[in-house]
């Protein structure tokens, strides 16, 4: 009897193993981008000599066109140890070092499951997990070794984080139109990081920020997360452009803070009075302000020209959409306005200094004339 039972048990296990398991409704990868503005410049050639790293490869394009994305100085890429969350999720990662002083930490987790699982994960990762804190410790360790390649390191770092939900396969879906028709509200939830269903108006607002090149690919861009439906090769360009847009946002935030601090210092100096000798000392403040203006303009141009779009209009449109959603134009306009204001302040301070110098020169001439007249009258006696 026991032999029969054992045989039936083994047969049952074999049947269970032979029964095909249902395929996951969704298959893809969830990526977390955490970026830090750590210094004014990173000398990539010297960095490459310090660490064992590789430079990023040219991204594959979505269509067989001659255009491509070109970095002026490709970032240096270094693998890092996996990040294990309290939930047991194990994320593999790497660091990218950009020459304009930004470090980009990228964690990724393979995903296979249903829509409800992805919605819960998006909500938890967007609102509950401080990925920047996890990444900051790793970055500090790496920068200790890379210190000789850093130019003018900052004592405090600005940071930005961004999530990308990339699906390669969606069961029963063959086109973007079908995906949006059947699962549009869920995509909007994922991009917003919301566990509850959004109002139709809010879902439509989120889905308006979408772009496609083929009938079966999709990118929905939000301010803190994006949803991609594409092949691995097709999504590569979108991921790199989202990373670049966030690094630009980080740089313009730094320039905005730098100009704000410098202009506050100038305003405080002006509020203390505009006496003769204070005007004379404005030359030093004007010189410092002008140095900051030149530095910001140079670094802004450097960040703007870090990547080039050659003959690929889709990549350029995708970048403009990503940059607009994360807020790059807004901060760039703030920086531009403050540069204009700082320029006006510089000219005002120079004018005040020139007036003081002219007054002192005129006073010196009057004194000399008076002395000459005194000696003249004394000689006449």
What mean pLDDT do residues 237-253 have?
91
Domain boundary (237, 264, 279) is at: 237
Maximal CA-CA distance, the chain: 148
Give the pLDDT score at 311.
Answer: 62
Q: What is the pLDDT of residues 284-318, one digit of tens each?
A: 666 666 677 767 777 666 666 666 665 678 888 99
The verdict on residue 230 lying in a domain is yes
DSSP state of 164: E
Six-digit token pair at 44?
A: 């990539």
- Measured N-to-C along each axis, helices 313-326 and 328-380 cross at an angle, to the nearest 10 degrees, of 70
Which of 247, 270, 250, 268 is CA-nearest to residue 258? Answer: 250
CA distance 363 to 378: 23
Percentages helix, strand, coil for the chain, rounded to the nearest 5? Answer: 55, 25, 20
pTM of this prediction?
Answer: 0.80
Q: What is the pLDDT of residues 34-91, one digit of tens each?
A: 999 999 899 999 998 888 766 665 555 554 443 456 677 888 999 999 999 988 999 9
- Asked whether residue 283 falls in the same domain as residue 224, the answer is no
Ordered DSSP codes for 104-121? EEEEEEEEEE-HHHHHHH
Domain limits at 132?
26-237
| 307 CB neighbour count, 10 Å cutoff | 21
Which of 255, 284, 302 is CA-nearest to residue 350? Answer: 284
Give the pLDDT score at 352.
Answer: 65
- Asked whether residue 52 falls in the same domain as residue 138, the answer is yes
H/E element, 69 = strand 68-71
The alpha carbons of the chain give a radius of gyration, in whole angstroms, of 30
As for how many domains the chain has, the answer is 2
Domain boundary (237, 259, 278) is at: 237
Confidence of residue 355 (pLDDT cuts 50, 70, 90): low
Find out whether 97 and 46 touch, Cβ atoms under 8 Å. no
Six-digit token pair at 9?
A: 């048990």
- Asked whether residue 227 falls in the same domain as residue 276, the answer is no
CA distance 251 to 307: 14
The verdict on residue 295 lying in a domain is yes
CA distance 80 to 94: 5
């Amino acid at each position: 009897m026991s032999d029969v039972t054992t045989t039936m048990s083994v047969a049952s296990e074999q049947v269970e193993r032979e029964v095909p398991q249902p395929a996951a409704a969704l298959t893809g990868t969830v990526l977390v981008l955490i970026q830090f503005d750590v210094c004014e410049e990173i000398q990539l050639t010297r960095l490459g000599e310090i660490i064992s790293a590789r430079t990023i490869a040219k991204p594959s394009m979505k269509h067989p066109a001659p255009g491509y994305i070109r970095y002026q100085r490709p970032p240096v890429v270094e693998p890092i140890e996996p990040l294990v969350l309290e939930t047991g999720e194990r994320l593999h990662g790497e660091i990218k070092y950009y020459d304009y002083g930004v470090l980009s930490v990228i964690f990724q987790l393979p995903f296979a499951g249903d829509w409800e699982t992805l919605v819960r994960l998006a909500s938890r990762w967007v609102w509950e997990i401080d990925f920047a804190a996890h990444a900051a410790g790793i970055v500090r360790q790496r920068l200790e070794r890379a210190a000789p390649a850093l130019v003018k390191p900052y004592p405090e770092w600005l940071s930005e984080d961004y999530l990308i939900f990339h699906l390669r396969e969606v069961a029963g879906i063959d086109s973007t139109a079908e995906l949006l028709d059947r699962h549009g509200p869920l995509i909007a939830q994922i991009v917003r990081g919301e566990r509850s269903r959004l109002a139709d108006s809010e879902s439509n607002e989120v889905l308006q920020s979408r772009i496609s090149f083929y009938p079966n690919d999709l990118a929905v861009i939000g301010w803190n997360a994006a949803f991609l439906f594409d092949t691995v090769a097709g999504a590569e360009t979108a991921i790199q452009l989202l990373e670049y847009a966030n690094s630009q946002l980080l740089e313009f935030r730094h320039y905005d803070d730098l100009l704000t601090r410098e202009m506050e210092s100038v305003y405080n100096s002006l509020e203390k009075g505009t006496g003769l000798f204070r005007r004379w000392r404005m030359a030093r403040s004007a010189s410092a302000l002008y140095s900051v203006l030149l530095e910001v303009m140079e670094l802004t141009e450097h960040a703007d020209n870090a990547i080039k779009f050659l003959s690929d209009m889709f990549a350029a449109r995708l970048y403009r959409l990503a940059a607009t959603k994360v807020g790059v134009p807004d901060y760039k306009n703030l920086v531009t306005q403050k540069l204009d204001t700082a320029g006006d302040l510089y000219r005002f301070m120079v004018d005040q200094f020139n007036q003081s110098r002219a007054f002192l020169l005129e006073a010196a001439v009057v004194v000399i004339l008076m002395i000459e007249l005194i000696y003249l009258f004394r000689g006449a006696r």
